[in-house]
Amino acid sequence: MPCKKGKQQRKSHKPKLQNSIDTPLKLLHMDLFGPKSIRSIGGTKDETADILQYLILSLESLCKLKVRRIRSDNGTEFKNNLMELFCLKKGIRHEFSAPYKPQQNGVAERKNRTLIETARTMLSDAKLPVTFWAEA
């Protein structure tokens, strides 16, 4: 039963036949998901800008390459002064999908779907309350 609950989804889009990214870190797809009315044990979405800055700096250092573009939705966790200043300083172009059009950020949406299914399955199987959502 938990696996069935975790696998609930809509029909997916056709995959691209050719990859348009030829170097690592050329384009990062970003999105967050979770029940908005539930505060997790570990924190909230308002910590996103600091965590993303740390992630980008770590990736650039590890790969010895620069992040060129970020694609995200119009969520306030991405569209704020902290992220705007950081991207400007680092020379990163930040692209936003149209409001209420998750298909435009399809890569992140599909990856999120997989993670959401897994988290939902884990919570259901362990019979844990939704406050453990972010941790799952």
Helix H, strand E, coil C: the string for the chain is CHHHHHCCCCCCCCCCCCCCCCCCCCEEECCCCCCCCCCCCCCCHHHHHHHHHHHHHHHHHHHCCCCCEEEECCCCCCCCHHHHHHHHHHCCEEEECCCCCHHHHHHHHHHHHHHHHHHHHHHHHHCCCHHHCCCC
pLDDT tens-digit readout, 22-37: 888 999 988 877 555 5
Lowest mean pLDDT among 35-44, 95-104, 106-115: 35-44
- Both 67 and 110 in a single domain? no
Name the domain count of the chain.
2
pLDDT tens-digit readout, 63-87: 999 999 998 888 888 899 999 999 9
Domain that holds residue 107: 100-136
- Both 62 and 77 in a single domain? yes
